[in-house]
Amino acid sequence: MGTSSERYPSSWSGGHDEHRLDEAWRGEIEGIDLTLTYLRQKREETERLARVAPVDLGVPVIAAPR
């Protein structure tokens, strides 16, 4: 992965700042993973529902006014 000077600009060097940056990116990656998991589940649900045969509800009958 390289040294910290190769990964980050010199203004970001330092143990605490580097650690905070790593934690921030880890949080971003976790958020992206959660989003991808949700989207995969929605796609699977949509594909499953697309295979279900439609139900014929018929044409509604409107009664004549009294």
Domain-wise residue ranges, the chain: 15-50
Residue with tokens 């910290």: 4
Contacts of 34-39 with C-beta under 8 Å, sequence gap 24+, read none
Render pLDDT for 29-57 as a digit per residue (tens, 0 to 9).
Answer: 999 999 999 999 999 999 999 999 888 99
Cβ neighbours, 10 Å, residue 21 = 14
DSSP class of 53 = P
Does residue 6 have a pLDDT over 80? no
Look up the pTM and report it: 0.54
Q: What is the DSSP letter of 1?
A: -
